[in-house]
Amino acid sequence: MRGYRPFDFRPFDKSSDYGTISVNPFIVLGTNPTVKTEFEALVENAKACTICAAYLPLGPRPVFQIHPASRILIVSQAPGRKVHETGIPFNDASGNRLRDWMGVDRDTFYNPEKIAILPMGFCYPGTGSSGDLPPRPECAPAWQDLFLAQMPRVELKLIIGTYALKWHVGKRQGANLTETVKNWAEYWPSVLPLPHPSPRNNIWLAKNAWYEATVVPVLKKRVSAILNKT
Ligand code: SF4
């Protein structure tokens, strides 16, 4: 486990007027006690997260898409302002290109039982002088590993951006993004570092035409094979 954990979901013993009781944090108590699954409790806690609220210009609105049955995981950076407003990730030209690279339609892409989307920062971090700010550094240590533990069937992780690469590829990265993407076969078939699918990355994609010519067909084939599994 990297960094600190703001929540500890393990059951623990606690002294009470009734002696020592075992407390399970996944049992959410209200006027009508409801027993939640670990997954449901985790999603509920993440949706209510305010850990770095003081630094978020538009306040917390965690955006992610997950399901315990997901077989493909997209790890991205952080929502932009539009995603913050709509709550829909990759609902733009970047998403169109990403869906094209994966060979999936919108229905498949937004089906969490098939594809999970987990940004390194769940909430819009604001904008600086050179565009959107990086994901809040509190977010991934708080949530990434807890969410990954809830998706045991993931067979392929698509990694977008330097923060996601640092977390999921770590020291196995190349000297820069281009080198890491060029060395894609080293991480295959469980991990694939992607160049950003944004139109703002068109120059990189034009300079590195080998990527769409050689890597994208392999990606499409693997995505299709995974999604067609029963
Ligand atoms: S960015 Fe992450 S850590 Fe910060 S409030 Fe949103 S969910 Fe919580």
- 12 assigned to some structural domain: no
Residue 84 pLDDT > 90: yes
Kindly give the distance from the C-alpha atom of residue 131 to the centroid of ligand 1, in angstroms, as a whole number: 19
Ligand 1, atom 4, lies closest to the CA of 52
Q: Locate tokens 């407003």: which residue?
A: 85
Atom of ligand 1 nearest to the CA of 136: 1
Domains: count for the chain? 1
For the chain, give the mean pLDDT. Answer: 87
- 34 assigned to some structural domain: yes
pLDDT of 34: 63
Ligand 1, atom 2, lies closest to the CA of 139
Residue 25 pLDDT > 50: no
Q: Is the CB of 72 under 6 A from ligand 1?
A: no
Residue pLDDT, tens place only, 56-70: 999 999 999 999 999
Residue 221 is part of which domain span?
27-227
Q: What is the CATH number of the domain that holds 218?
A: 3.40.470.10
CA 83 vs CA 26, 53, 90, 164, 212: distances in Å? 29, 17, 8, 18, 26
pLDDT of 28: 39
- 4 assigned to some structural domain: no
- 17 assigned to some structural domain: no
Q: Is the CB of 140 under 6 A from ligand 1?
A: no
Confidence of residue 131 (pLDDT cuts 50, 70, 90): confident
pLDDT of 21: 35
Kindly give the distance from the C-alpha atom of residue 37 to the centroid of ligand 1, in angstroms, as a whole number: 22
Residue 23 pLDDT > 70: no
Q: What is the rounded distance in angstroms from the CA atom of residue 166 to the CA atom of residue 143?
A: 15
- 143 assigned to some structural domain: yes
Ligand 1, atom 6, lies closest to the CA of 123
- 69 assigned to some structural domain: yes
Residue 10 pLDDT > 60: no
Kindly give the distance from the C-alpha atom of residue 56 to the centroid of ligand 1, in angstroms, as a whole number: 9
- 9 assigned to some structural domain: no
pLDDT of 29: 38
Residue pLDDT, tens place only, 151-210: 999 999 999 999 999 999 999 999 999 999 999 999 999 999 999 999 999 999 999 999
- 13 assigned to some structural domain: no
CA dihedral 74, 45, 39, 150 (to 10 degrees): 40
Q: Is the CB of 75 under 6 A from ligand 1?
A: no
Q: Is the CB of 127 under 6 A from ligand 1?
A: no
Q: What is the rounded distance in angstroms from the CA atom of residue 192 to the CA atom of residue 206?
A: 20
